[in-house]
Amino acid sequence: MPLAELRESLAGPVEDEPPIRAEIERALAAAGQGYDRAAGRHTPVWAVFVAVGDQYRARAGGGMGEELEPPRPTASAMRAAAARLTRHLATYPAHTRERATAPEVASGPLVITADRVQMVTTNSVRTLLCPQGHAAHTVRVDGPVATYACQHASDQMLRALEAARVRMALARAAGVHPSTQGTHVVPDLLIASANDLDRHTDPQDANVFLRQQPDIVGRDDLVDRLAHMIREHRPS
C-alpha cells in the first residue's frame, strides 16, 4: 500500500466517533445490563458504570469544579483512524493487497552469490560497492537484516538494502519463493531501490536502461538511409 494512501486514510477528523460513555451505554443495553427507564430500574453492572463514569462529570458545577475534575473521555483519534483505514482497505483491489504483503521470512539464513549485485532505480543501475570500492558479490539475509560483502572485506550493512527487497530480487533471478533459505548462485542480482521503486517491482520493467525496447520491424535500413540523407545535404 503506498505510503501516501496510508497517510490519507489515517488522517482526518475524529468527531465522527461517539463519546465513550454513549458506546458503553449502548453495549450494556444490548446485553440486557442497562438502565430500564420505563421501570426505573438498573442492574448492578449499570450501577458500577455510573459510579465510574461520574468521575468525569463536573459534580461541583461550573468554575472551580471543572478545573478540579479530570477531563471526560473524548473521541479516540486512533480508533477513528483505524475505522477509516478499514473502510479504505475494503475497497483496495485484492491483487494489490497481495502484492503489498511482505514476503514470508524463512527461519534460516539466506546467502546469495552473484557475479553482479546492483541497486536499480527508474533511471540508474548502480553496482553495490564495499567502502573500499570493491564490487560486492555476496548478500546475506538473516531475519530482517541484510548485509553484503566483497571478496576482500567483511559484511557491511546498507540502509537501502532491505531484507524483503533482496528476497524479491532472488525470487525474480532464480525463480524461487521469496521465503527460501540456504545458498543460491545467480549471474545478476537486481535489487529494486527503496528510493523510488516498490519492492515487488521488476527492475527490468521499471528501469529505462534495462527495459526491453520494441523491435522496429521492416526498417532494418533506416539508419543507413538517414546517414545517406545527412551526407547528401551536408554543405561542402
In the structure, what pLDDT confidence band is assigned to residue 130 with cuts at 50, 70 and 90? Answer: confident
Of 75, 34, 74, 71, the closest CA to residue 55 belongs to 71
Distance CA 78, CA 10 (A): 8
Per-residue pLDDT for 199 more than 50?
Answer: yes
| Predicted pLDDT of residue 197 | 86
Of 28, 198, 189, the closest CA to residue 115 belongs to 189
pLDDT (tens digit, 9 = 90+) per residue, 141-166?
A: 988 889 999 888 778 878 778 888 99
Span 224-229, mean pLDDT?
Answer: 72
Span 188-196, mean pLDDT?
Answer: 90
Per-residue pLDDT for 174 more than 60?
Answer: yes
Span 60-81, mean pLDDT?
Answer: 55
Nine-digit cell string for 120:
536499480
- Count of Cβ atoms closer than 10 Å to residue 198 Cβ: 13
pTM to 2 decimals? 0.50
pLDDT (tens digit, 9 = 90+) per residue, 20-31?
A: 677 778 888 888
DSSP letter for each residue of 46-96? HHHHHHHHGGGS-TT-STHHHHHSPPPP---HHHHHHHHHHHHHHTS-HHH
Of 87, 112, 119, 126, the closest CA to residue 167 belongs to 112
